[in-house]
Chain A
């Protein structure tokens, strides 16, 4: 059996609670040392929670129906009335408290921060080579975005290193040009590099900036499910948009 099948079998047994002592040891060892295994275990555990949740909801509806079908006459009318008035009260309160409590622009300002430079260390003196890459990231760190922008574009065209797209998009967001950042982030989201985990978060913010809450929410959901970057912030922001 291949290694991958072994791992899948361990996860299956873990989910069903039937690991023996030896398997439990291998499982714990993998959990500690193998990041992709860990990710898979989380996925399957979540899947278990979700399917149990839906399955139980079905069961609940089923026994409620069983109760209803046989004792309809005894159902208390007052309880329904109380429930209805509570529902009205709740929805009214909800309406008055959530109406326009957020502006997408304010949320953007609250959550957006250009991603830090992790590509080119900026130091003075020594053996520093002041090439365009250095100058681009120096301008970026100094918040001289107008200078950084053409450099990132040029460097991407010349080298095709995908991280330039990501930083270019950050600059555009900072310069209030979210509509230009979006296609660049979408392109970057198909590539794999040291910053690709972060793309969806910034793409969501770009949509937010343009007041496109539908896509902002969708992208946040994707980011939460697929990336560990800014997960808590993403959850909070999603909550505020919902």
Chain B
């Protein structure tokens, strides 16, 4: 799949994401109309599909997938539409509901997890970290960037600087918990 597109989604690059978003938006809404869902429902689903796509992208699995971003995005969206129809108990002609064979069954709820109480408490402290700390931890823990990638992405001078910054931030976070 298009690596540069995936990376801009992973890294919350607003300009790029906006471009991708509007490139496929109309096509998706037109496709969804067939299933008699409301405009708002379809917009919500389209957005949710982006979030799930991003989760998959972060795992690194999509870089090697052959289908295009659009196919995958629509694949996720279709399963979500299907779930929504079931939820609303609408009767639709499932003949229309062919999903291209090139797309494996996609778990449209992939990665949906509620935080545990420990995590919710840790989250409060995490939010109080400085900007630079939040950035380095987000890049490493959430987005799975390697130390070298972080050097490049966040303009550090070397990987040893990133390493020590990261361990300083973790130490700070642990201190906040114990305080």
Contacts and interface: CB of A to CB of B under 8 A. Distances in A.
Interface of A: 8, 12, 15-17, 43-44, 46-56, 58-60, 62-64, 66-67, 70, 74, 76, 79, 221-222, 224-226, 235, 238
Contacts of B134: 54
Interface in B1-34: 12, 14, 17-18, 21-22
Given A50-B122, A67-B47, 11 more contacts: A15-B141, A17-B59, A47-B137, A47-B173, A48-B141, A48-B142, A51-B141, A54-B142, A63-B21, A63-B47, A222-B178
Contact of A53 (B14, B60, B119, B173): B119
Interface of B: 12, 14, 17-18, 21-22, 39-40, 43, 47, 50-51, 54-55, 58-60, 113, 115-119, 121-123, 126-127, 134, 137-138, 140-144, 146, 167, 170, 173-174, 177-178
A16 B167 CA distance: 16
Which 9 A-B pairs have CB atoms at the shortest separation, nearest pair first?
A55-B142, A51-B142, A51-B141, A52-B142, A48-B141, A66-B18, A50-B123, A235-B117, A225-B177
Contact of B121 (A12, A48, A52, A221): A221
Contacts of B173: 47
Contact of B17 (A12, A53, A62): A62
A225 B12 contact: no
A235 B138 CA distance: 27
Given A51-B137, A52-B141, A67-B47, A62 B14 contact: yes
A54 B129 CA distance: 13
Contacts of B59: 17
Contacts of B54: 56, 59
29 contacts: A12-B140, A16-B140, A17-B60, A46-B122, A47-B122, A47-B137, A47-B141, A47-B173, A49-B115, A51-B126, A51-B137, A51-B142, A55-B12, A55-B142, A56-B51, A56-B142, A59-B12, A60-B47, A62-B14, A62-B17, A63-B47, A63-B50, A66-B18, A67-B43, A67-B47, A76-B40, A79-B40, A222-B178, A225-B118
A79 B59 CA distance: 35
A62 B18 CA distance: 9
Contacts of B40: 76, 79
Contacts of A12: 140
Contact of A226 (B50, B115, B142, B178): B178
B84 to A, nearest CB: 15
B47 A64 contact: yes
A50 B173 CA distance: 12
B131 to A, nearest CB: 13
A222 B177 contact: yes
Contact of B138 (A51, A60, A64): A51
B17 A70 contact: no
Given A15-B141, A225-B121, A58 B14 contact: no
Contact of B143 (A49, A55, A63): A55
A66 B168 CA distance: 35
Contacts of A44: 141
A56 B113 CA distance: 12
Nearest to A64: B47
B142 A60 contact: no
A44 B119 CA distance: 11
A99 B55 CA distance: 40
A235 B137 CA distance: 27
B137 to A, nearest CB: 5
Contacts of B142: 48, 51-52, 54-56
A80 B117 CA distance: 31
